Amino acid sequence: MKIQSLIMLATLFCCIHVNCQEEEQYDLRIFFTNYKNYKIAYQKSEKNTQIIIHKEISRTNISNSDYLKMKKIVTEEENDGLRKLIQIGENYREYETDTLIIKNGSSIVEIVDNFVENWERNKSHQESYPENRLILDGYGLIIFLKKNNITYESISVRTPTAQSHPEIFELYSKIESFYKKNAKKPVIE
């Protein structure tokens, strides 16, 4: 009788373990061009969820060899070119960094999770409906997403507003305001 009970318990445990879904892990990064002097990383893992703000404190000129690498990437229109260009540029910047650990159940988690869940829809919308606004003095915003340690994907937009890109505008403005409100000593105003 005890052996049957143990077998049933073991079987039940295995079934529960197999049917449990792992929580999705991701790394979301937001870069601004010609607008803000910081970048945002929102990372969700098994251990925790956090916002990392990297505020630029200095920048040096790009070397001639890296300039030529960047030029080659642009002219060859590489598949992962945008990310490679940013990586090269990042080598010439120095940042002050602040990390905010987010508690489970925080309002920002639902907003970012929703954006990540709808990533394909948001991305295809940007590709299907390119900019139809004339922007003379705008800025760029690039969002990179890496889910479950798979290659980064990106969405790139020009001067997002609540009217032109509501999901993207909500994402970065809510992350910014959540960070400013909850960080002990925010590095951004």
At residue 125, the pLDDT reads: 75
Spatial distance between the Cα atoms of 24 and 21, rounded to a whole number of angstroms = 9
Cα gap 56→63, rounded to integer Å: 19
Split into its structural domains, the chain has a count of 1
Per-residue pLDDT, 12: 39
Whether residue 30 lies inside any domain: the answer is: yes
DSSP letter assigned to residue 160: -
Does a structural domain hold residue 164? yes
**Which two structure tokens, joined as six digits, stand for 172?**
């970065």
Of 36, 38, 43, 37, the C-alpha closest to 54 is 38
Separation between Cα atoms, residue 27 and residue 92, nearest integer Å: 23
What are 7-47's pLDDT values in tens digits? 443 443 444 333 344 568 999 999 988 778 899 999 999 88
| Residue 114 is assigned to a structural domain of this protein | yes
Residue-number span of the structural domain to which 141 is assigned: 22-59+96-182
Residue 80 lies in a domain: no
Domain CATH for 173: 3.30.1560
Residues (pLDDT < 70) of the chain are: 1-23, 78-79, 128-137
In a domain, 152, yes or no: yes
High-pLDDT (> 90) share of the chain, %: 44
Q: Which two tokens stand for residue 137?
A: 């003095």
- C-beta of residue 13 within 8 angstroms of C-beta of residue 21: no
Whether 107 is in a domain gets the answer: yes
Q: Does residue 53 fall inside a structural domain?
A: yes
> Is residue 41 situated within a structural domain?
yes
